[in-house]
Amino acid sequence: MSNIIILIFFLIFLNNCSFDKKTGIWTGSDRIAKKDDDNNQNIELVFKKQKNIVEEKELSPDQVIKLDNPISFSNWSQRYQNKSNNVSNILFLNEGNFKKFSKISNTNINNNILVDKDNLFFSDNKGNIGVFSLSENQLIYQFNFYKKKMKKNKKIIKLIVKNESIIAADNFGYIYSINFKKQKINWAKNYLVPFRSNLKIIEGILFLSDEKNKVILIDLQNGKKIDELYTQPSKTVSKFESNLAVENNNNLLFLSTNGTLYSLNLINKKVINWIQNFKSENEIVYKGNPIIVKDNDIMISSKDSISLLNLNGARIWDLSIKLSTAPIISGNTIFAINKDNFLICINKNTGNIIYSKNIYSMIKKDFKKNFKKKIKKINNLFLVNKKLLLISDNSYFIEFNIEDIINVNSIKKNPFKISSDIIFSKNEMIFVSNSKRIYKVN
């Protein structure tokens, strides 16, 4: 009899749990509701799932690759450049010239570098945040928030620039804002749990997530927490940092370290629009890439797959493919490089592979030389001035023509090793080398 009473009590408890779609998920200050079902929301539609063993494939004569027009960026004030994390075609002429600037630090630079109004913003492992004038070739401001007792601790700092302020979030749970023009700190807060995502700003609110996959909303004016949303924490440690993007309807997209994608309306209604999972059952650690939003589509990629969704969360197609770099979208085509060093073109609308060729075979054919042992892992893939630019971890720049015919246009070994993000400003490529010097290419 007692067992029956316990069972009834347990069923009543489940029925009233705060995770049902009526009451939402408790965040400590308010409730976030799950959006009511309709014809488009929260439905796992039947989608076209494909598994491909990549083989060599020529582009068919009737297949047209349409690309977006090249864009020239005057600044790069947030990681991944813009709210949608999409840099589809960059105005950059790869002429091979480069300029080396002064050394900016004595210790390793964090990957996240930014450029705004001819100033480069960076941080290093000792906690220094610097502003370097590219026009004057000198450090014009440096600030260190941390006390001497934290001197030996490695600081991993994420940055975003807004107006005349640098907002920084670190791996100790600190977040602070610095007015670099007035050279003073605006505010500083300690939220105790390390942050590990890129930073996004919507309507004066800063969005970021911590290592427990909790999404946090911060008032940019004073650093106070507006709200927070708990999602499922990861059971394993992953190198993948959770990622944020903003889609065209101003909904926040959050890809957690579990490989779960959330569409969140946190500005107006505090609604979870939909949730999709991209971590397979046999995958222990999720290894994802940043979210990319292209028009009304969302691309999610990992080391094993590429998926395309619409803004309502319905999957359009899935493609099993082992990637070596994050893919890019431009026009009607997705460009990717797989683990076997194949250059792959995918039709964005269908998920079909329309072209695939081994990169080393293409180089050998066009240059009569075998670069297989010289070129190591391809780390970066960009579309620049309607050409594909591949950059290896030992600084080979390989450029491909892709409009009329796909072939290798040029290949060059450079005398530097890139140790930061690669960004573009005023038709120039900018990065920090392992010698802690800023480089401009072109």
Neighbours of 324 (CB within 10 A): 16
**Model confidence over 45-100: pLDDT tens digits?**
344 445 556 789 999 988 889 999 999 999 999 999 999 999 999 999 888 789 99
**Model confidence over 376-430: pLDDT tens digits?**
899 999 999 999 999 999 999 999 999 878 999 999 999 999 999 999 999 999 9
In sign, the C-alpha dihedral spanning 305, 419, 97, 139 is positive
* Reported confidence tier of residue 149, pLDDT bands at 50, 70, 90: confident
**Model confidence over 96-125: pLDDT tens digits?**
789 999 999 999 999 999 999 999 999 999
Residue 6 has pLDDT above 80, yes or no: no
**Model confidence over 275-284: pLDDT tens digits?**
999 998 888 8
The predicted structure's pLDDT at residue 1:
45
How does the average pLDDT of the chain come out, rounded? Answer: 88
User: Is 348:308 a contact under the CB 8 Å cutoff?
Assistant: yes
What type of residue is 188? A
What type of residue is 119? N
440: Cβ contacts below 8 Å, ≥ 6 apart: 98, 99, 101, 134, 428, 429, 430
Residue 209 has pLDDT above 60, yes or no: yes
Smallest CA-to-CA distance from 351 within 309, 392, 379 is with: 309
* Reported confidence tier of residue 33, pLDDT bands at 50, 70, 90: low
DSSP 150: G
417: Cβ contacts below 8 Å, ≥ 6 apart: 393, 394, 395, 433, 434
Task: Determine whether 135 is exposed, middle or buried from the number of CB atoms within 10 Å of its CB (0-12, 13-18, 19+).
Answer: exposed
94: Cβ contacts below 8 Å, ≥ 6 apart: 384, 385, 387, 389, 397, 399, 410, 441, 442
Query: Which of these CATH numbers, 3.90.930.12, 3.40.47.10, 2.40.10.480, 3.40.50.2300, describes 60-100+326-442?
Result: 2.40.10.480
* Reported confidence tier of residue 26, pLDDT bands at 50, 70, 90: very low
Residue 269 has pLDDT above 90, yes or no: no
